[in-house]
A and B are shown apart, each in its own frame.
Chain A
């Protein structure tokens, strides 16, 4: 906890929030949200919470900015502001001030940051995880072991929520007839769109393989370093979005069509839930990996470690494909052609 850096970052955070209110141009506002995400991610990195900061960087500063810009492309770029302050606005300002004041007053009762005697740190469950996690699962990264093993049930439903978000986007803005035509056409042509720039195209051709390899590394290395299925999946999905930005959406769809995306996303959930059912089939309860010692090599702790890896790979599948589907549909208003 480096208080000098945190102080400056917090001041900038307030300034950025004020800027985002003042900027009337929606494109500029999306960039300001990107800056807000960088600053939050630096704050979390300063506190030592690297997994959270990684996810914030990947989702907030990377993919979220791109999706916002792709959506703003279809709108009128300037928010039509009503210049006079009406009664409702003043009332809501008053309510926000009162609520903020109450929250600030309540925050005085919090324990100090990193206090070892605070209730959150003293609870026996927290102590059990900190002391017993390495013996139980042989995974040095505590965050990954809690997410994928001790609390694996929550992570399964988070993955399902991501999948449902993809289906929701498809249901709300997908245009079926245009899509079917696009899927037929997208198979054969091998040239890039005429609106792509040569320099950007060549640089992205160098960058995309590195990005994909790095995403696979982040998924696999999530046991020993910050990372894991979700962050690696976001990076992999970002590689397809980069392909769509540089060469045109058609190129990205040629490599990963929408129907294939949904099949892979469903595959990810089947892997995760299937592992749980496998544990039940072998005689233990749902998602209790210890029983898999009978079919995986290495002992009980290693069996848990391996099954965590496979389950994280399932999460990675789902997150990759659904991010790409969300981008493709939002950027083109469901028609999968034109747009950003």
Chain B
């Protein structure tokens, strides 16, 4: 079972590495924030799994709970950054979403 949990943890880490691609190349800032939020949630899981590997989950679980709470706060702060944006009114948008057509999609 220990080997299985180690395998799960390593697999999660490899996928987190794939999310780092989105952090690097995300065309907008919010893409990076979303990827960072996902990586943060997975860190909570990884902490519990590391606790299972050390066979002393009680030590790591308080820590994982605190970490989950703080990750939420980071995403809220980053989202609030954009909340006062005036771009929607400035652009004079009438349709709810601006649409990017296929020709000028990069």
Contact = CB atoms under 8 A, between A and B. Distances in A.
A–B touching in complex (CB under 8 Å): yes
Interface of B: 6, 9-10, 13-14, 16-17, 20, 23-24, 26, 29, 32-33, 36, 39-40, 43, 46-47, 50, 53-54, 58-60, 62-63, 65-67, 69-74, 76-78, 80-81, 83-84
Contact of B77 (A23, A226, A245): A245
B36 A5 contact: no
A248 to B, nearest CB: 10
Contacts of B62: 54, 218, 221, 225-227
Contacts of A195: 83-84
Q: Which 10 A-B pairs have the closest CB atoms?
A: A62-B70, A66-B77, A31-B36, A65-B74, A28-B32, A38-B43, A69-B77, A57-B67, A8-B13, A27-B29
A214 B20 contact: no
Contact of A42 (B46, B54, B77): B46
Contacts, number: 156
B29 A340 contact: no
A242 B36 CA distance: 19
Given A12-B16, A34-B36, A195-B84, A19 B23 contact: yes
B17 A27 contact: no
Nearest to B49: A5
A45 B60 contact: yes
12 contacts: A32-B23, A42-B46, A45-B63, A62-B73, A63-B73, A69-B81, A210-B69, A238-B70, A242-B76, A245-B73, A246-B76, A340-B80
A72 B71 CA distance: 19
A61 B10 contact: no
Contacts of B65: 214
A207 B72 contact: yes
Contacts of B20: 12, 15-16, 19, 35
Contacts of B29: 25, 27-28, 31, 77
Contacts of B43: 38, 41-42
Contacts of A2: 6, 50, 53
B3 to A, nearest CB: 11
Nearest to A65: B74
B58 to A, nearest CB: 7
Contact of A231 (B17, B23, B66, B74): B66
B5 to A, nearest CB: 10
Contacts of B67: 41, 57-58, 61-62
Interface string A12-28: 10011001001101011
A307 B77 CA distance: 37
